[in-house]
Structure 1
Amino acid sequence: MTNPTRGWVSWSSGKDAAFALHTVRETRAVDVVGLLTTMNAATRRVPVHAVPHALVQAQADALGLPLHTVDLPWPCPNDIYEARTNEALTAAGRAGVERLVFGDLHLRDVREYRERSIADSGVAPMFPLWGRPTAELAAEMLRCGLRAVVTCVDPAQAPAELAGRWFDEAFLDGLPDGVDPCGERGEFHTFVVDGPGFTVPVDVAVGPPVERDGFVVAELAAR
């Protein structure tokens, strides 16, 4: 009997990463043994999503997986991002990790960048959700019990008042034309509080939206 392929999930704290984790577990394509997330070293938050480290750690604990963080300056030049990420992945590869699972859906330039940026790490990228229609995918996420809150909105692409909303049927039904149901073009980002694989929900308080670095962010805190 061959040993299963060991992998990490590139963990943004959002719904796409969570559903990619669920997918590879369901299909047994990868034995997921850890989560990898980048962190703004100054604020201790996930870049763009603006989720505090403590809440990401709570997700990892609920999923029963170790959390591996890569601390980054902000703003972060690509060369520093790539060097630090590759350092973490090279160490993971020496420990037997062979795949890094991404939740990307259909942006070819993003996929090609990820493939190129970790090519020398010894860990191969994997895209289990690639090419799936996003409206169908969003509906499937809800059917499987995934619960997420919108943490960040790009007001140049979507209404600012979406920040702090729950990612549910009412949210999807009310999206304006041109906004991707999964926010794949960066219209919005989410934080998952419950879903497949979670042993307990992550209890969060959702604060009022604030403007930060050109985005509208719903402040999250543990309860």
Structure 2
Amino acid sequence: MPYKSFFNWSGGKDSSLALYHTLTDKSYQVEKLLTNVNKQYGRISMHGVREELLEQQASAIGIPLQKIVLPDQPSMLEYEEQMMQTMRQLQKEQFTHSLFGDIFLEDLKTYREIQLSKVQMKAVFPLWKLDTTQLIHEFIDLGFKTVVVCVKAELLDESFAGRVIDKDFLKDLPANVDPC
């Protein structure tokens, strides 16, 4: 019997691919997308995706969306209190697993695991430590589409912003920049 699960949705490419992997794995029954939204700006806290696009994504995916509305720049205490309140409610609803699109941020993975263990839930990372070059090629080959919405100026010039991530984009990407 599959684990009753929710997916922590960021609206980004890694999140999309991790959800795809999860939906093809019969171990998990994803019944909810969970997203933090900044109350002041109406955007996903993690990537700044507009709330209306978030809702369109969830509708297209066909999984119910639950938003956690956070104040602008919440303190760590405010964030953790809101998250734990939500996790306790999800626990009451019999959710047992929480899935993430993280690939390589060890400290964030550990934090998520610790927080979820407080409510007897398991954190799952379908893309964890997978080769990012292979992941981005899989993303493109599966037909996913994504647009670069911002760049880190120390690594990429502004001409990369607004581009679709495709094979041409990857050819133009400097060797020192991880494709994911």
- Structure 2: distance between partners of 1:135 and 1:179: 11
Contact 1:50 1:152 in 2 (8 A): no
2:73 to 42, 67, 75: 75
Gaps of 5+ in 1: 183-223
Percent sequence identity is 33
Name the residue aligned to 2:176.
178
TM-score of the two chains, using structure 2 as the length reference: 0.93
Name the residue aligned to 1:128.
126
Determine if the alignment matches structure 1 residue 22 to structure 2 residue 16. Answer: no
CA deviation map 1:143-170 (0-9, x unaligned):
1111111122232343233221111111
User: By how many angstroms is 1:104 displaced?
Assistant: 0.7
- Structure 1: distance between partners of 2:141 and 2:84: 36
1:113 alignment partner AA = Y
Count of aligned pairs between the two proteins: 180
CA gap 1:48/1:21 in 2 versus in 1, 3 angstroms:
closer
Higher mean alpha-carbon deviation, 108-117 vs 33-42, is at 108-117
Structure 1 residue ranges (4+ consecutive) displaced by more than 3 angstroms after TM superposition: none
TM-score of the two chains, using structure 1 as the length reference: 0.76
Higher mean alpha-carbon deviation, 101-110 vs 30-39, is at 101-110
User: By how many angstroms is 1:48 displaced?
Assistant: 4.6
* Bigger helix share: 2
CA gap 1:116/1:148 in 2 versus in 1, 3 angstroms:
same
- Structure 1: distance between partners of 2:30 and 2:77: 27
* Bigger strand share: 1
- Structure 2: distance between partners of 1:25 and 1:48: 22
1:71 alignment partner AA = V
2:99 alignment partner AA = V
Gaps of 5+ in 2: none
